[in-house]
Structure formats: structure tokens, C-alpha cells
Amino acid sequence: MSTTLEETRFTVSGTHQEVSDCLEALCAALSDLPVGQLSEVAHKLDGQVASPLDLRTAGALNARYGTQATGLEGHERSSHYLPTPDMLLRHAAAWFTRANAVLTLTGPNPAGLRLPLPPGDRPRRSPPQARQSRATWTHRNIDGAALTVETPVASAAASVAHRILRERVTAAVAGQSMPAASTEAATALHDSLTVVRLLLTPTLAGDAEGTAATMWSEAMSLASKEPAPAEVARHRFPSEEAREELVTLDDAARAELFGTPFLDEGSRRRALECVTPRDVRDAWQRAMERAQLVVPEGLLLHLTGPDGRRLWCTSCWTWDEIPPWGQVFRPPLAKRALRRTAERHRVILTGESVVSCTPGAHHELRFDDVVALERWGPERNLIGRCGCSVGVDPAWYRGGQRLIRALDDAIPAELAFDGSELAPRARP
């Protein structure tokens, strides 16, 4: 079994009879989940819950979409809640149905094959909405730089542009003697007509700003100037060393499952062969209108956006501005005396928000943007719709218990969860 952002896949191999028996047993189990063994299974899986995404990809999607759909994977400080039996049964009834499953076979159809899934209805998939409608840059806790854009899922020109930019960024970073690995390219399905394209470049400490500037510069260049015909020709198809089939059973299955456009091998090849340098530039120019550059926390960038103005920062942190007025909670005097100025912090409680402050910067999280409050004994972890989390330990502040009571009162009870309700994992 494997799990991705979009699908859960069960792969079976063997003789015709073995395949038939295994698939039938699998479908029967999904139709009648053994929810009575939930606690036992959860205990066995303790510490084995893995994200289908690496941290850079998860952080970039979280920055783009916040606390919804694909963006949820970027909540690295939040924990996995142990579902109740009722939650599991409702989930299975909605998603593990005949109407939401596709079977692919690489051999003859096994005689007598039965797939006893319940009929159900095709579930409604709501695509996440980007938090911003123009090109931006922002922060996440990632070890490098990431660029995300949205393009039509069947755009051959955008696919070629994506490969060209990956090669250009890799070469440019290497040419500046930055000790970074090759730039990676990834995609995530947004809806039946749109795909999210990502470029991810890891860096060592101290090199992220230069890498981010290089990535953005190369992306802007591709959006403003047509690439050479030879460069386009080289990237129309994957390299021979890592060549993939243009059309596979997986493509057909995903088209059936998600309603994405489907082209047979000949049609897709012809579409790629017809891509011109102007097509590549125009496709990437449109994509860059809502591009987002994601960099590690603490960086301040001065870049130019597609509109010729300074690239807009959407970080939840604000620099060199006076934070909102409210009740201030500071560390005890003894702790302040032992800390350097750069390490000092305070929390401001307003009527509408909680504000985490450090020298020269602050982060405001409005209460109506909180989607969950985790309670870990006396500590609290507020999870925001923006994708950020604010952790508060009352021991950090004078009057810390009053601060915790105020947070508990400000957040609706249905959004609060005790740590004991979470699957055993590392605390935030």
C-alpha cells in the first residue's frame, strides 16, 4: 500500500488466483473495517505515521494554501489525532467505494474476479484556494528555497518550461559555487484542470538568500525572454537516462478518477513536438503572475515581481513596525537577565489576537483565524489558518496562567483538543 496527497494505492502481484483472492479480501476489509481493533493498531503504528511529502514540498504547499487540503501537510508542529471508530467508518463510506476506485491490470482479467466495495457516490473534491492572488514571497521552516506556480494540467508548454527552469536553476546555483544539491521538480494535482508545479533547491546554512534570489531571477528571465529553440527541443521529452513512458495505465486511471484531461501517447507526443519557444515563455509568464517563493525563516528579500514592483511579502511576521496594543506578558526578570537581547521575547494579548514578539519583529495570530487549539497539560499550541502555529508555555511568562486562561476563553471549545486525544508523538 502507498499513500500520496491525492490517492491511496494497493498493489497486488501473483498468479491470477492470488490476485483475485487478494483484491476480493482487500475490498471486503475496506467495506467492513475492524474498528474494534483501532487502539491496538494505533499502538503498533506509533512513530510510523509518515508524511507522503518531504518537508520542503509540504512547507511550500502549506505556504501557498494554508490550513486546507494539500497545505495541511506543512503543519509540522501539529500532531496526528487518533480518529474515532465513527470517523473511520464515515471516511470509508465516503471514499472507499466502487464509485471512487479504479482498477488497473497488466495482465488478463482473472476469472471470477469480484470487487465487493459498496456502491457509494463519487465524492466532491474541493480544490484549495491560494491564500494570495498575486506573486509573493514568504517564510517557512525549510532548508532551502522553493517556488510554486499553478498551470493548466495538460499544458505541454508549461511542462517544458518546468524542466527548462529546473536545469537553469541547477546550473546557476552551481556556477555561483553554492554548495547545494540539484534542484528538484515536483507536481501536485490541484483540481481536474490545474496542477501545482514546484521547484525545490536545498542549501547549506548561510546560502539560502543567494539561492532564493537565483531561483527567482531565473524564473523571471524565463517568463520575459523566449528560450533558445535548441533548449526547448532538448526538454520536450525526458532524457534517455530517466525516460518515462508518455502514457501509462496510471495516467489513464488518474484521468478516470480525477477527471483530468487524457491524451493518448500519439496525441501527447504531437502536443510536445509543437511547443515553440514563444509558447514556453508565454506559459511561464502566466504562471509567474501568481508564483510564490518560499524561503527559510529569518530571511529578508528585496526582489522585483512580475509587475515591476517590489515582490510582496506575505509572511505572518512583520518587521520594524510597532505591534498592536494590548496586555503584555514578558519572561520573569530572572530569565530576562540571563538572556541576550536578541533572544528576548514577549506575548501581547489583544481583544482579537495573540501576538508573539521578538526584537524588531512580531507575529499576530487573530483568534478568528485559529482552526485548532492543542492543550498539552499547561501548555497551548494555536494552529492558524495561515499555516503557522504559536506555542505558549505559561512558565515562560509572568502571569502566564492568566494568559493561558485568556486563550482558552478566546477559542471556541469545539476547536480545542487535549494532548491525550492525540496519537502518541513528539510534543510541539
pLDDT given for residue 55 in this prediction: 82
Grid coordinates representing 380?
497551548
Domain CATH number, residue 277: 3.30.830.10
Residue 162 lies in a domain: yes
The set of long-range contacts for 376-379, using a CB threshold of 8 Å and a minimum separation of 24, is 376/419, 376/427, 376/428, 377/419, 378/404, 379/427
Give the domain extent around 189: 139-313
pLDDT averaged per 10 residues in sequence order, the chain, 428 residues: 84 90 93 80 57 81 85 62 80 92 87 89 86 92 92 95 96 73 88 94 80 96 97 82 57 90 86 96 98 90 94 85 92 64 77 92 92 91 86 92 96 86 44
Tell me, yes or no, whether 288 and 333 share the same domain.
no
Tell me, yes or no, whether 295 and 150 share the same domain.
yes
Domain CATH number, residue 353: 2.30.29
pLDDT given for residue 25 in this prediction: 94
Residues 6+ apart with CB under 8 A from 240: none
Tell me, yes or no, whether 293 and 348 share the same domain.
no
Tell me, yes or no, whether 213 and 322 share the same domain.
no
Residue 41 lies in a domain: no
Grid coordinates representing 172?
546557476
Residue 185's Cβ-count burial label (10 Å; 0-12, 13-18, 19+) is: middle
pLDDT given for residue 174 in this prediction: 84
pTM of the model: 0.82
pLDDT given for residue 85 in this prediction: 85
| Spatial distance between the Cα atoms of 163 and 151, rounded to a whole number of angstroms | 14
pLDDT given for residue 81 in this prediction: 61
pLDDT given for residue 424 in this prediction: 44
pLDDT given for residue 36 in this prediction: 79
Tell me, yes or no, whether 309 and 181 share the same domain.
yes
Number of structural domains found in the chain: 2
| Of 290, 313, 336, the domain-final residue | 313
| Spatial distance between the Cα atoms of 26 and 17, rounded to a whole number of angstroms | 14
Tell me, yes or no, whether 246 and 390 share the same domain.
no
Tell me, yes or no, whether 352 and 295 share the same domain.
no
| Spatial distance between the Cα atoms of 290 and 299, rounded to a whole number of angstroms | 21
Residue 129 lies in a domain: no
Tell me, yes or no, whether 294 and 219 share the same domain.
yes
DSSP letter string over 326-370?
SEEE---HHHHHHS-GGG--EEEE-SSEEEEEETTEEEEEEGGGE
pLDDT given for residue 425 in this prediction: 42
Residue 16 lies in a domain: no
| Of 313, 336, 371, the domain-final residue | 313
Say if residues 201 and 161 touch (Cβ distance below 8 Å): no
pLDDT given for residue 143 in this prediction: 86
Say if residues 127 and 282 touch (Cβ distance below 8 Å): no
Tell me, yes or no, whether 297 and 341 share the same domain.
no
